[in-house]
Amino acid sequence: MVTGRFSWQRMWQTVWCCLLLSTAISVQAANSLTARVDKNPLMMGEELMLLLELDEKVPANSIDFTPLSAHFQFGPPAVSQSMQIINGQSSQSTRWQLSLFANQPGTVQIPAFEVAGVRSEPITVEILAASQQGKGSAELFIESTLSSTSLHLQQMGYYEVKIFYSGDLQRGSLSQPELAQVTIEQIGKDIEGSELVNGQRYQTITRRYSLVPQQSGDYQLTAPWFQGEMIDRSSSRYDYFAKTKAVSAQGQTLSFQVKPIEPGFEGQWLVSELVTLQEEWSADPAQLVQGEPITRTITLTAMDLADHQLPDLQINLPAGIKSYDEKPQSKKAERKGRMVAQKVFTSALIANQQGKLLLPAVRLPWWNSIKGEIDYAELPARELQVAANPQQQAPADSAPVTAASSAEAAAVVAGPVNPWQWNHLSTTLTLLWLLTVTAFAAWYCWQRSTVMGAGVAVSGLVPVSDVKFNANRFKTACQQHDAELVSTFLLRWGRETFAADIRQLPQLLALLPTGELKLQLEKLAYQQYQREATEWQGDALYRAWAEFSPAKSPAVSALPPLYPT
């Protein structure tokens, strides 16, 4: 029993002590908020550590550090909390640690902060301009450069940031430079190297950016800042046990000017050091054939420009040529540290008349940033000689044969004729003619029933005008990439949709409106006239045909009035 009473007393004593301790902790309130920096004055590009400590435990986001952005760049703070109990007295604290980088030299003030009813004291900091002196002894520093301090509107400039370090860098991150009204993009990958600075060897990491200003005026470009971890050689004699330490640096702020568009410039503003135009043809343009398509490819190349900055070309064609343009293709690439952009224009050209045609010059104005004047990228005018299409010509010897037959007939009529012989000859010819017609009619009916029963269209046996267009068979022919059979089906479709006298693909092309179906049909026609057979794909043609609406075609019109006015 004694032991039991003793245990109950000890338990109540413990509970009572805990209640007193919790009461003491709960009534404790914050009394002070201290602020200090690790160095003052400091150089531009040096890291300034700001430490705030509150003698109370509060949430990490209790302090708003936004006022610091007027003079410094900084990231999220490192927050830590602690609690101690000594001789029944408890103490708590919350610490905030920030890494600051000054935006510009001068004397600035770190404002007072308030949390939990207490305020810190403001701190005045002197920031000195960056100097090249002493960089040889620094462990980490950054240099930033601009390719030019004077640019035109929408002219691309280059911004380079180089990190120098002499220790073992374990990891790090470089912030993205930002500037209002300026498009900034990284070019390529980081480049690693080494350089000598004041007799000391440094490892380097170089990152390059392109700058494209969208508005004229004066600009201040604040350098990005670097944060990382480096091995602390002073922490241990052996690399394996060495600790890491936080390192950071920032480059200097750079100024540049952006000039507006030059007065008197006509057309879309384009500024570069080099702009060229080149053209390629799928065949010799001096030997065009009427109705046959030929592909023309024009490539626009420009230095120090983004691909989206390249304009479209104004290409004027004579009345005797029709053009079917593909969507321009743009691309860009880095060449020896410079950006090169290209825009490719591809067109299918078809001459619809024979003879000489003049293809006008293509001229693109641009501002030469080296010469400081307007320059032109140009393709010269070209004279085309269009030959007649032999597929569309009547046989040249038909007229003489007809004339000779007429002469012979006249000679026969002019000669004496025996009545009995005439009647006998006429009867014989009539019987032979009737026999021939009867045999042909029987043969035609047998061939038609055989072809229709087998489900195969044979254009050499059955007159194409008597065979109906079948969409399912047309789809199958396209999927099998049978160019000849697809052409046969298209001619049948054209006769049923547009005109009954269509016998060749150029006739159908003339009735189709400008669009994807007409472009694909031209490629099919071009396939048939190639000297060397190549594999043709029919999927694109079938998709274009399936999406085509004859009701919207200007070639489909109502019947002419019975009594035209």
How many C-beta atoms surround the C-beta of residue 285 within 10 A? 17
pLDDT confidence tier of residue 8, bands split at 50, 70 and 90: low
Residues 379 and 357 reside in one and the same domain = yes
CATH of the domain at 239: 2.60.40.740
Residue range 308-312: mean pLDDT, rounded: 92
Residues 143 and 235 reside in one and the same domain = yes
- pLDDT tens by residue, 394-412: 444 444 433 333 333 333 3
| Cα dihedral 430/436/442/448 (nearest 10) | -130
224, two tokens: 């990005």
CA–CA dist 224, 206 (Å, integer):
13
91, two tokens: 């103490």
CA–CA dist 67, 473 (Å, integer):
75
Full domain range(s) for residue 48: 33-128
> One-letter amino acid identity for 51?
L
Q: Which residue has the tokens 């690693």?
A: 192
- pLDDT tens by residue, 473-500: 899 999 988 888 898 899 999 888 888 8
Beta-strand relationship, 362-368 and 271-272: parallel
> One-letter amino acid identity for 28?
Q
Residue range 340-346: mean pLDDT, rounded: 94
Angle at 377 between CA 372 and CA 378, to 5 degrees: 145
Residue range 297-308: mean pLDDT, rounded: 93
Q: Assess if residue 329 is contained within a domain.
A: yes
298, two tokens: 């024009």
CA–CA dist 491, 501 (Å, integer):
10
CA–CA dist 292, 296 (Å, integer):
13
Instruction: Give burial (CB, 10 Å; 0-12/13-18/19+) of 116.
Output: middle
Residues 222 and 275 reside in one and the same domain = no
Structure confidence at residue 366 (pLDDT): 95
CA–CA dist 508, 505 (Å, integer):
5
Question: Which of 105, 128, 151 lies at the terminal end of a domain, its last residue?
Answer: 128
Beta-strand relationship, 123-128 and 42-43: parallel
Q: Assess if residue 22 is contained within a domain.
A: no
End-to-end CA distance of the chain: 132
Residues 119 and 139 reside in one and the same domain = no
Find out whether 367 and 269 touch, Cβ atoms under 8 Å.
yes
Q: Assess if residue 288 is contained within a domain.
A: yes
Residue whose C-alpha is closest to residue 59's, from 17, 101, 30, 38: 30
Beta-strand relationship, 150-152 and 254-259: parallel
Eight-state DSSP code of residue 190: E
CATH of the domain at 115: 2.60.40
Residue whose C-alpha is closest to residue 146's, from 156, 155, 154, 157: 157
> One-letter amino acid identity for 69?
S
Residues 143 and 246 reside in one and the same domain = yes
pLDDT at 427 over 80: no
Q: Assess if residue 264 is contained within a domain.
A: no
Instruction: Give burial (CB, 10 Å; 0-12/13-18/19+) of 391.
Output: middle
Average pLDDT over the chain, rounded to an integer: 78
Q: Assess if residue 53 is contained within a domain.
A: yes
Task: Please list the residues that pair with 338 across neighbouring strands.
Answer: 335
Find out whether 206 and 160 touch, Cβ atoms under 8 Å.
yes
pLDDT at 24 over 60: no
Residues 241 and 318 reside in one and the same domain = no
- pLDDT tens by residue, 229-280: 888 766 555 555 667 887 888 888 899 999 999 998 988 999 999 999 999 9
Residues 142 and 251 reside in one and the same domain = yes
- pLDDT tens by residue, 193-227: 998 888 788 999 999 999 999 999 999 998 888 88
CA 281, distance to chain mean position in Å, is 25
Instruction: Give burial (CB, 10 Å; 0-12/13-18/19+) of 371.
Output: exposed
241, two tokens: 């046990």
Residue whose C-alpha is closest to residue 528's, from 561, 484, 565: 484
Share of the chain above pLDDT 70, in %: 73
Question: Which of 128, 162, 185 lies at the terminal end of a domain, its last residue?
Answer: 128
Structure confidence at residue 446 (pLDDT): 55
- pLDDT tens by residue, 502-526: 888 878 888 888 888 888 888 887 7
Structure confidence at residue 418 (pLDDT): 44
Locate all alpha helices (DSSP H) within 226-346, ordered by sequence.
Answer: none
For the ranges 6-15, 68-77, 161-170, 546-555, which has the lowest average pLDDT?
A: 6-15
Residues 349 and 235 reside in one and the same domain = no
Eight-state DSSP code of residue 544: H
CA atoms within 13 A on the CB side of 165: 20
Residues 162 and 186 reside in one and the same domain = yes
Residue whose C-alpha is closest to residue 265's, from 152, 354, 344, 378: 152
Quickly list DSSP for 402-455: HHHHHHHHHHHHHS---HHHHHHHHHHHHHHHHHHHHHHHHHHHHHHHHHHHHT
478, two tokens: 């396209």
Find out whether 381 and 363 touch, Cβ atoms under 8 Å.
no
Structure confidence at residue 15 (pLDDT): 55
Domain count for the chain? 4
Q: Assess if residue 308 is contained within a domain.
A: yes
Residue whose C-alpha is closest to residue 165's, from 144, 187, 136, 189: 136
For the ranges 39-48, 125-134, 315-324, which has the lowest average pLDDT?
A: 125-134
Q: Is 275 helix (H, G, I), strand (E, B) or coil?
A: strand
Q: Assess if residue 456 is contained within a domain.
A: no
Angle at 547 between CA 545 and CA 548, to 5 degrees: 65
Quickly list DSSP for 369-409: TTTTEEEEEEE--EEEEEEPPGGGSPPTTHHHHHHHHHHHH
Structure confidence at residue 240 (pLDDT): 56
Q: Assess if residue 437 is contained within a domain.
A: no
Residues 152 and 214 reside in one and the same domain = yes
Find out whether 253 and 103 touch, Cβ atoms under 8 Å.
yes
Phi, psi of 489 (to 5 degrees): -65, -40
Question: Which of 259, 285, 300 lies at the terminal end of a domain, its last residue?
Answer: 259
Residue range 11-23: mean pLDDT, rounded: 55
Residues 151 and 123 reside in one and the same domain = no
pLDDT confidence tier of residue 378, bands split at 50, 70 and 90: very high
Residues 121 and 190 reside in one and the same domain = no
Structure confidence at residue 254 (pLDDT): 92
How many C-beta atoms surround the C-beta of residue 289 within 10 A? 19
